């Protein structure tokens, strides 16, 4: 029965291990199948927990994280969030989380880090993201807005040469308005540097700060998106020196489009299509009912910034904006060429930057014509 040994209180019984016998082959198969099933469950659970587009394993809804700016050039996003259009299209099984930015490069950093899944941004940050990742990180999946970017200056400045020695602001180095300003100045024979030197001193700062510094006389102008251009005019006493729309054929150029992390697009195609269904619906509202859209966009800006815009500012800025699901690809190529000439971008092949298949399916589902791929 067992071995005896002597302890401090006398003999103790030490159990003898039973003899081991090989398990029957059927038992071994059952154990192997159970282990495989357990391993598969662990893998699936880990994938679910590690993806923002999957349930978190605790019965919580999936999450789609969307970025946009508190600018009227992002009115599609402002309206889509404020009116609940995105959330409604995503459905009760997905939670929409939003995050706002001042300029595209910051939004791209959030995409690269995985902090957001998709964002509304301008063309040049999207180009930079595509180039820096060797064409792997992002895809443009829809247009949103054309127009609404202007160079506003002090009344005494009447032409490009009047900018020599002046301080002109843009939202961020390498963002869409920054490239537009530097490219336009170069064509006027005026040099700029990324350090703020040259014939015209370009300073990069947040749009709200630009307005305050313009009113205080510390900068001489700014190339900014709406509503900041109109605010510089009305609140700062500025004048339009350049309406960017007049620099493009037919006045059409992409100001804002929707981009997504390529990994998210590949892993969560259904969520991307639902997001695009919301994009199309929101843009239709913006286009067909501008009065309501202006109210919704302004309400969202108030939530984000703590202060609503004056309705007359919104109405004036709205006239400079065109809302379209078409990403206007031809203008993207020109923007890339401008950035290359400025030394802000190495030559890049943009042939794979668009994936418009999901957008066209969303357009078809809502009875709208497709955009060219």
- pLDDT tens, residue order, the chain (373 aa): 444 333 433 433 333 333 444 444 344 344 444 444 434 333 333 333 334 544 444 556 799 999 999 999 999 999 999 999 999 999 999 999 999 998 899 999 999 999 999 999 999 999 999 999 999 999 999 999 999 999 999 999 999 999 999 999 999 998 999 999 999 999 999 999 999 999 999 999 999 999 999 999 999 999 999 999 999 999 999 999 999 999 999 999 999 999 999 999 999 999 999 999 999 999 999 999 999 999 999 999 999 999 999 999 999 999 999 999 999 999 999 999 999 999 999 999 999 999 999 999 999 999 999 998 7
Which pTM does this prediction carry?
A: 0.82
Asked, colleague to colleague, whether 69-147+251-365 and 149-250 share their fold, the answer is: yes
Q: Residue 16 — φ and ψ, nearest 5°?
A: -90, 130
Burial of 353 (0-12, 13-18, 19+ CB in 10 A): buried
- What's the rounded Cα separation, in Å, for the pair 90 and 281? 12
DSSP state of 22: P
Ranges of each domain in the chain: 69-147+251-365, 149-250
Q: What is the CA radius of gyration of the chain?
A: 28
What is the fold, at CATH topology level, of the domain defined by 149-250?
D-Maltodextrin-Binding Protein; domain 2 (3.40.190)
Alpha carbon distances (Å) from 157 to 161, 164, 166: 8, 10, 10
For residue 51, give both structure tokens.
């993806």
CATH C-level class of 69-147+251-365: alpha beta
- What's the rounded Cα separation, in Å, for the pair 117 and 126? 14
Are 201 and 166 in contact by the 8 Å Cβ rule? The answer is yes
């Amino acid at each position: 029965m067992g071995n005896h040994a002597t302890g401090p209180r006398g003999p103790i019984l030490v159990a003898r291990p039973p003899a081991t016998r090989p398990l029957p082959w059927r038992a071994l198969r059952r154990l192997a199948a159970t282990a495989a099933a357990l391993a598969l469950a662990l893998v699936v659970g880990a994938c679910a927990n590690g993806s923002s587009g999957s349930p978190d394993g605790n019965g919580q809804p999936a999450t789609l994280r969307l970025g946009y700016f508190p600018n009227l050039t992002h009115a599609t996003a402002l309206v889509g969030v404020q009116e609940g259009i995105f959330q409604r299209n995503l459905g009760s099984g997905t939670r929409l989380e939003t995050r706002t930015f001042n300029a595209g490069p910051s939004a791209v950093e959030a995409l690269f880090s995985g902090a957001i899944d998709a964002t509304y941004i301008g063309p040049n940050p999207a180009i930079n993201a595509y180039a820096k990742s060797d064409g792997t990180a992002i895809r443009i999946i829809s247009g949103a807005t054309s127009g609404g970017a202007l160079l506003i200056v002090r009344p005494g400045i009447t032409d490009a040469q009047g900018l020599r020695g002046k301080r002109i602001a843009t939202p961020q180095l390498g963002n869409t308005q920054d490239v537009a300003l530097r490219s336009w100045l170069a064509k006027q024979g005026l040099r700029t540097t990324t350090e703020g030197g040259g014939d015209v001193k370009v300073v990069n700062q947040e749009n709200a700060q630009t307005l305050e510094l313009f009113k205080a006389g510390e900068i001489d102008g700014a190339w900014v998106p709406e509503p900041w251009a109109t605010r510089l005019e009305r609140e700062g006493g500025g004048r339009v020196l350049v309406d960017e729309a007049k620099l493009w054929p037919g006045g059409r150029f992409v100001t804002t489009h929707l981009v997504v992390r390529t990994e998210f697009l590949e892993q969560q195609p259904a969520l991307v299509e639902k997001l695009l269904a919301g994009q199309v619906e929101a843009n239709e509202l913006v286009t067909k009912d501008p009065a309501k859209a202006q109210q919704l966009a302004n309400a969202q800006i108030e939530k984000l910034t703590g202060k609503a815009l004056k309705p007359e500012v919104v109405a004036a800025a709205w006239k400079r904006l065109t809302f379209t699901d078409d990403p206007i690809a031809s203008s993207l190529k020109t923007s890339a060429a401008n950035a290359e000439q400025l030394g802000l971008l190495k030559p890049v092949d943009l042939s794979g930057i668009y994936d418009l298949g999901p957008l066209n399916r969303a357009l078809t589902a809502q009875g709208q014509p497709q955009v060219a791929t």
